[in-house]
């Protein structure tokens, strides 16, 4: 019965305002502007509060979604914040970058008849309300210290979540970060216009407010090994080191000047603020015509950064078709609206350089789709004799990342896969090494922010059980 929406329910979700594509293509301000109070209230009334709650199971950290939406509907914002934050330490981030369309929203009961409730937008609304009402918020109650110490390596989504949960249980947590700013991929990878850095830092500050000690500029494996941490007072270690090593294609010309890994390109722009050069000291080469190779979110982010840096033409070069593209539909659409040109079924053969060692073009093959491969997507096949040259002067390679080998190489007793990932139990995050847990991209390979957070959360529960002898 609950599946049958009453006639007064609007089957369309409330749109979220966004910056005009032609304007936003030239600034770094956030693209999506968020709901107003009225919009949020209106959207929240669409939730039918169905007893099956499929959305909760669809969320990797099991946020009590119908409850927080009900609190929004009742205009009880402190309650909405409390419900949201009890399961999710980083809601302002998740509300922006989670792929809700393949998680909570995909299974929403409303989706059978119309548009699913805009859970991500409401989550962002509640989190942003919270960030704007800090002074009225009551400080999170932290229980008395347990006397146990945990080291978290990496301050990305997995580490932040694990740290927050353990601190809330009274454990003393130290989080080590290699870079000069905490946040991991949230800081160096995802651009300002999609995830403002002040939002990330506000969430990091929240985690610190729980008593977590953040040690920046600390490359673990070099400054101290995992074993040294375990013998110098830490009772447990969580590895949340992510997947930070860029993959290249191994084609001729890849070491030419003007060829970037997406990691380098995005790190220069986001972490080092090269878009503000020379106010900031870190430079970046602003191409006139930029080709970004790959079809994921990182490729979209790189392309949209290139456009904002001032490139005339920016291409996404992807070897399959639009249907197989791994990027979120919304991000590909945003990119296209802003003027990014999609060169689909196109695969680079080599990058061509001038006599000074600079990129001056890229030779590509046309591709066609064959039979499905092991990933279930139709395999791209090279059309022989189809080579053509793209006139580009900067190439960004966004073909994925693998885990950094620094910790595996310096830690005895971990089990490492051929792909370089650390083997850990899916439920608990426990590795085969005594007192060491792992979660996020270092275990799964490059995945999503929320799945890393889910892994950090499960590992925190398992570490807590271990520390308290349960």
Partner 1 sequence: MFKIVAKEKLTPVIDCLKVEAPALSRKARAGQFVIIRVDEVGERIPLTLADWDAKEGTITLVAMQVGTSTKKLGALKAGDNLQNLVGPLGLPSDIEKFGTVICVGGGVGIAPIYPIARALREAGNKVISIIGARNKDLLFWEDRMKKVSDELIVTTDDGSYARKGLVTEPLKEKLDAGKIDRVIAIGPAVMMKFCSLTTKPYNVPTIVSLNSIMVDGTGMCGCCRISVGGVTKFACVDGPDFDGHQVDWNIAFDRQKVYLKEEKDSLDKWESCQCGKS
User: Closest CB to partner 1 among 251 and 447?
Assistant: 251
Among 155, 263, 270, 444, binds partner 1 (CB under 8 A): 263
Does residue 153 contact residue 407 with C-beta atoms inside 8 Å?
A: yes
Q: To the nearest whole angstrom, how small is the minimum distance from the Cβ of residue 53 to partner 1?
A: 40
Position 88 contacts partner 1 (CB under 8 A): no
Q: To the nearest whole angstrom, how small is the minimum distance from the Cβ of residue 306 to partner 1?
A: 16
Q: To the nearest whole angstrom, how small is the minimum distance from the Cβ of residue 340 to partner 1?
A: 23
How many residues of this chain bind partner 1 (CB under 8 A)? Answer: 43
Instruction: Give the list of residues 6+ apart from residue 450 with CB closer than 8 angstroms, or none.
Output: 59, 60, 61, 94, 98, 99, 103, 157
**Nearest Cα residue to 161 out of 432, 399, 448, 407:** 448
Q: To the nearest whole angstrom, how small is the minimum distance from the Cβ of residue 175 to partner 1?
A: 15
Position 283 contacts partner 1 (CB under 8 A): yes
**Nearest Cα residue to 66 out of 85, 86, 46, 40:** 46
Position 254 contacts partner 1 (CB under 8 A): yes
Among 268, 304, 349, 433, binds partner 1 (CB under 8 A): 268
Give residues 211-240 in contact with partner 1 (rule: CB under 8 A). Answer: 216-219, 222-224
Triad 41, 46, 51: Cα angle to 5°? 120
User: Closest CB to partner 1 among 52 and 180?
Assistant: 180
Position 383 contacts partner 1 (CB under 8 A): no
Q: How many CA atoms lie within 13 A of 144 on its CB side?
A: 0
Q: What is the separation of C-alpha 105 from the centre of its chain, rounded to a whole number of angstroms?
A: 18
Triad 35, 39, 44: Cα angle to 5°? 105
Does residue 247 contact residue 254 with C-beta atoms inside 8 Å?
A: no
Task: Determine how β-strand 259-261 pairs with β-strand 388-390.
Answer: unpaired
Among 161, 267, 302, 444, binds partner 1 (CB under 8 A): 267
Position 244 contacts partner 1 (CB under 8 A): yes
Instruction: Give the list of residues 6+ apart from residue 70 with CB closer than 8 angstroms, or none.
Output: 44, 47, 49
Position 251 contacts partner 1 (CB under 8 A): no
Provide the mask over 351-370, with x wherever binding to partner 1 is found by CB under 8 A and - wherever it is not: -----xxx------------
Angstrom distance (rounded) from CA 96 to CA 200: 11
Q: To the nearest whole angstrom, how small is the minimum distance from the Cβ of residue 242 to partner 1?
A: 9
Provide the mask over 101-130, with x wherever binding to partner 1 is found by CB under 8 A and - wherever it is not: ------------------------------
3-state secondary structure of 103: coil
User: Closest CB to partner 1 among 273 and 360?
Assistant: 273
Among 50, 137, 256, 461, binds partner 1 (CB under 8 A): 256
Among 29, 132, 280, 329, binds partner 1 (CB under 8 A): 280
Q: To the nearest whole angstrom, how small is the minimum distance from the Cβ of residue 423 to partner 1?
A: 21
Does residue 397 contact residue 260 with C-beta atoms inside 8 Å?
A: yes
Q: Can you spell out the DSSP letters for 167-235?
A: HHTT-EEEEE-SSSSTTTHHHHTS-TTTS-HHHHHHHHHHHHHTTPEEE-S--TTTSS-HHHHHHTT-S
Among 145, 372, 405, 413, binds partner 1 (CB under 8 A): 405
Position 257 contacts partner 1 (CB under 8 A): yes
Triad 276, 335, 202: Cα angle to 5°? 50
Give residues 7-66 in contact with partner 1 (rule: CB under 8 A). Answer: none
151 forms bridges with which residues in the sheet? 174, 237
Position 410 contacts partner 1 (CB under 8 A): no
Position 404 contacts partner 1 (CB under 8 A): yes
Angstrom distance (rounded) from CA 400 to CA 268: 17
The span of 242-250, 297-305, 315-323, 426-434 binding partner 1 (CB under 8 A) equals 242-250
Q: Where are the alpha helices (DSSP H) in 280-339?
A: 297-309, 329-338
Provide the mask over 164-203, with x wherever binding to partner 1 is found by CB under 8 A and - wherever it is not: --------------xxx-------x---------------
For residue 437, the tally of other CB atoms under 10 A from its CB is: 29
Among 101, 252, 277, 368, binds partner 1 (CB under 8 A): 277
Position 411 contacts partner 1 (CB under 8 A): no
What are the residues binding partner 1 (CB under 8 A)? 178-180, 188, 216-219, 222-224, 244-246, 248, 250, 254-258, 260-261, 263-264, 267-268, 272-273, 277-283, 285, 356-358, 404-406
């Amino acid at each position: 019965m609950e599946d049958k929406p009453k006639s007064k329910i609007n089957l369309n979700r409330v749109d979220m305002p966004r910056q005009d594509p032609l304007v936003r293509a030239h600034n770094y301000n956030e693209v999506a502007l968020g709901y107003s109070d009225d919009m949020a209230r209106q959207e929240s009334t669409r939730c039918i509060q169905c007893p099956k709650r499929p959305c909760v199971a669809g969320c990797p950290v099991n946020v009590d979604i119908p409850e927080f939406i009900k609190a929004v509907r009742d205009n009880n914002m402190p309650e909405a914040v409390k419900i949201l934050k009890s399961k999710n330490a980083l809601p302002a981030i998740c509300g922006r970058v989670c792929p809700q369309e393949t998680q909570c929203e995909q299974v929403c009961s409303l989706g059978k008849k119309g548009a699913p409730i805009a859970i991500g937008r409401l989550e962002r609304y509640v989190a942003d309300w919270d960030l704007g009402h800090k002074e009225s918020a009551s400080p999170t109650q932290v229980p008395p210290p347990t006397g146990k110490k945990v080291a978290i390596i990496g301050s990305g989504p997995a580490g932040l979540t694990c740290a927050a949960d353990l601190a809330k249980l009274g454990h003393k947590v130290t989080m080590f970060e290699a870079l000069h700013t905490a946040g991991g991929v949230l800081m160096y990878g995802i651009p300002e216009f999609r995830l403002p850095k002040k939002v990330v830092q506000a969430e990091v500050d929240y985690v610190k407010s729980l008593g977590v000690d953040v040690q920046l500029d600390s490359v673990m494996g070099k400054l101290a090994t995992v074993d040294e941490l375990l013998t110098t007072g830490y009772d447990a270690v969580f590895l949340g080191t992510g997947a930070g090593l860029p993959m290249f294609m191994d084609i001729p010309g890849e070491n030419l000047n003007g060829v970037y890994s997406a990691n380098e390109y995005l790190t220069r722009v986001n972490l080092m603020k090269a878009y503000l050069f020379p106010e900031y000291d870190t430079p970046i080469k602003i191409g006139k015509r930029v080709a970004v190779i790959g079809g994921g979110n990182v490729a979209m982010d790189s392309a949209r950064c290139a456009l904002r840096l001032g490139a005339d033409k920016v291409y996404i070069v992807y070897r399959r078709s639009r249907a197989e593209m791994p990027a979120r539909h919304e991000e590909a659409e945003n990119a296209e609206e802003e003027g990014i040109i999609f060169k689909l079924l196109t695969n680079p053969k080599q990058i061509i350089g001038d006599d000074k060692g600079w990129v001056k073009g890229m030779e590509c093959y046309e591709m066609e789709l064959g039979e499905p491969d092991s990933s279930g997507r139709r395999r791209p096949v090279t059309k022989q004799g189809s080579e053509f040259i793209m006139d580009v002067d900067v190439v960004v390679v966004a073909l994925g990342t693998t885990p950094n080998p620094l910790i595996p190489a310096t830690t005895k007793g971990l089990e490492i896969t051929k792909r370089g990932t650390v083997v850990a139990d899916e439920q608990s995050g426990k590795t085969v090494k005594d007192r060491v847990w792992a979660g996020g991209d270092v275990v799964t390979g490059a995945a999503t922010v929320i799945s890393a957070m889910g892994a950090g959360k499960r590992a925190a529960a398992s570490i807590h059980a271990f520390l308290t002898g349960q």
